[in-house]
Structures are given as structure tokens and as C-alpha cells.
């Protein structure tokens, strides 16, 4: 299925559509267009990002230029729209991606640790251990042992979205489910959680992009 200009083109195996299929398409055109356009824009966004992955990245939802410089040791500096990565050797193009992701992981660790401590105090909900790690599909999780995991890719989305995930996982310390009571508790500290959920869904493509 493709959408060019104002025409929705449908490809079929047989070259024709049954009346049932035709009715389905006709009745669901709005839904199809909405989802197609959303996926298409996410796909384009993703392609553009991958093409420039060694000289730009996303930090707190902002596009940031990445610069590699040679110096005495491995270190990084992040200010406004520039991430400078220093290394004692010239970094080969093939290694740049790995280096950027390890720097992002470090920034994520510092930021998420600070953010969860802040919200833990504010909500009075206390966790045992925090791990900031790689996860293929989840932004965060909370175990019955009160350990919280947060996906380091959260450093790439808007701070308000990362905060939503932090609050969501903290609320699981008292409600280990997604019951109405759980969402009510989330809403107390993050009223606009539905919007955040949608926006995070749209940013899902960012997970695993450095692998
Ligand atoms: Zn949950």
C-alpha cells in the first residue's frame, strides 16, 4: 500500500479486490491514512537520523552536533547543541557509533539517577536499586523486589517524557499493575500521562539505533 499525492494505491496478489476488501478499505480510509502517515514520518525521521549517526545525535529531545577531538584521555563535554568527545587516538569512523552510545549511556545514568531521586523524594516512594541499561523494547520496568530498570535511550527523548517513565515506574512500587488505581496515582504527579504515552510510542524507533 502506498500513498502518493492524493491517491492511495493498493497492491494485491490477484490484481483485484473482493467487495468485502473494498468495503473495508473504504470504511477505514481515515484510519489507514493516519497510521500510514505516522509510520512514514517515523520511517523518514529514522532514515535521516541513521544517515548522520556519527556526526549528530539526540540529547533530551534536541538534535546535537557530535564532534571528535584528540586529547590526553577519553572524556566528553556536552553543552547546548554540541557534544564533544575527546579521545587519545584518532577515532575510526567504524568506532564512532559505539563511542557515542557509551557517552549517551553515561549522560543517561547521571540524569536518570538524579531524576529518580528527585521524584522518589517527592512521591515518598522508595526503590531498592536502579539500573540504567539497554533494553530492546521497554523504556522502564519495576520488579516486585523494588528494583527499577530504566532504558538509557531515555536520554534521547524530551526530559518531560523521561520524567513520565520515572514516575510510572515509581508508582509500580505501590501498584504492581496497570489498574485504574495505578493510573490515578500516576495522574496525581503527571496529569498529562496519556499524551506522554503516545509521544513515547512515536519515539520507540530510537531504541536500539546504536546497535
Ligand atoms: Zn507499567
pLDDT per residue over 183-200, tens digit each? 999 999 999 999 999 999
Q: Are residues 104 and 201 in the same domain?
A: yes
The Å distance, Cα 81 to ligand 1 centre, comes to 32
The Å distance, Cα 165 to ligand 1 centre, comes to 9
The answer to whether residue 146 is domain-embedded is: yes
The Å distance, Cα 151 to ligand 1 centre, comes to 13
The answer to whether residue 71 is domain-embedded is: no
Q: Are residues 123 and 196 in the same domain?
A: yes
Structural domain that includes position 22: 2-51
The Å distance, Cα 138 to ligand 1 centre, comes to 10
Residue 103: closest CA among 137, 72, 77, 124: 77
> Which CATH number fits the domain that encloses residue 114?
3.30.2010.10
Q: Are residues 46 and 124 in the same domain?
A: no
The Å distance, Cα 98 to ligand 1 centre, comes to 30
Measured distance CA(121)–CA(131) in Å, rounded: 18
Q: Is pLDDT at 31 greater than 80 in this prediction?
A: no
The answer to whether residue 63 is domain-embedded is: no
Q: Are residues 99 and 189 in the same domain?
A: yes
> Which phi and psi (to 5°) does residue 126 adopt?
-115, 130
Domains held by the chain: number: 2
The Å distance, Cα 122 to ligand 1 centre, comes to 19
No. of helices (H) and no. of strands (E), the chain: 6, 9
Q: Are residues 40 and 99 in the same domain?
A: no
For position 14, what pLDDT does the model report? 77
The answer to whether residue 112 is domain-embedded is: yes
Q: Are residues 162 and 103 in the same domain?
A: yes
- pLDDT per position as a tens digit, 148-172: 999 999 999 999 999 999 999 999 9
Q: Are residues 47 and 108 in the same domain?
A: no
The Å distance, Cα 155 to ligand 1 centre, comes to 19
Q: Are residues 116 and 190 in the same domain?
A: yes
The Å distance, Cα 31 to ligand 1 centre, comes to 27
Residue 203 — left, alpha, or beta (φ > 0 → left; ψ -120 to 50 → alpha)? alpha
Measured distance CA(62)–CA(79) in Å, rounded: 12
The answer to whether residue 86 is domain-embedded is: no
The Å distance, Cα 178 to ligand 1 centre, comes to 6
Residue 83: closest CA among 53, 112, 126: 53
The answer to whether residue 82 is domain-embedded is: no
The Å distance, Cα 200 to ligand 1 centre, comes to 13
Q: Are residues 45 and 99 in the same domain?
A: no
The Å distance, Cα 171 to ligand 1 centre, comes to 8
- Identify the band that residue 5 occupies on the pLDDT scale cut at 50, 70 and 90: low
pTM: 0.82
The Å distance, Cα 139 to ligand 1 centre, comes to 10
Amino acid at each position: 500500500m502506498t500513498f502518493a499525492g492524493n491517491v492511495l494505491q493498493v497492491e494485491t496478489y490477484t490484481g483485484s479486490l473482493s467487495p468485502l476488501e473494498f468495503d473495508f478499505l473504504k470504511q477505514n480510509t481515515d484510519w489507514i491514512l493516519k497510521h500510514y502517515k505516522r509510520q512514514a514520518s517515523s520511517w523518514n525521521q529514522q532514515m535521516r537520523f541513521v544517515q548522520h549517526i556519527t556526526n549528530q545525535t539526540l540529547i533530551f529531545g534536541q538534535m546535537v552536533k557530535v564532534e571528535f577531538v584528540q586529547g590526553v584521555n577519553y572524556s566528553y563535554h556536552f553543552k547546548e547543541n554540541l557534544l564533544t568527545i575527546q579521545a587519545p587516538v584518532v577515532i575510526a569512523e567504524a568506532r564512532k557509533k559505539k563511542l557515542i552510545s557509551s557517552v549517551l549511556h553515561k549522560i543517561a545514568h547521571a540524569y536518570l539517577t538524579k531524576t529518580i531521586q528527585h521524584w522518589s523524594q517527592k512521591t515518598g516512594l522508595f526503590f531498592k536499586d536502579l539500573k540504567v541499561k539497554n533494553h530492546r523494547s521497554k523504556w522502564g520496568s519495576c520488579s516486585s523486589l523494588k528494583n527499577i530498570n530504566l532504558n538509557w535511550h531515555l536520554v534521547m527523548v524530551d526530559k518531560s517524557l523521561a520524567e513520565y517513565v520515572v514516575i510510572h515506574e515509581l508508582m509500580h512500587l505501590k501498584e504492581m499493575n496497570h489498574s485504574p488505581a495505578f493510573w490515578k496515582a500516576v495522574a496525581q504527579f503527571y496529569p498529562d500521562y496519556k499524551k506522554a504515552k503516545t509521544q513515547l510510542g512515536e519515539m520507540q524507533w530510537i531504541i536500539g539505533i546504536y546497535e
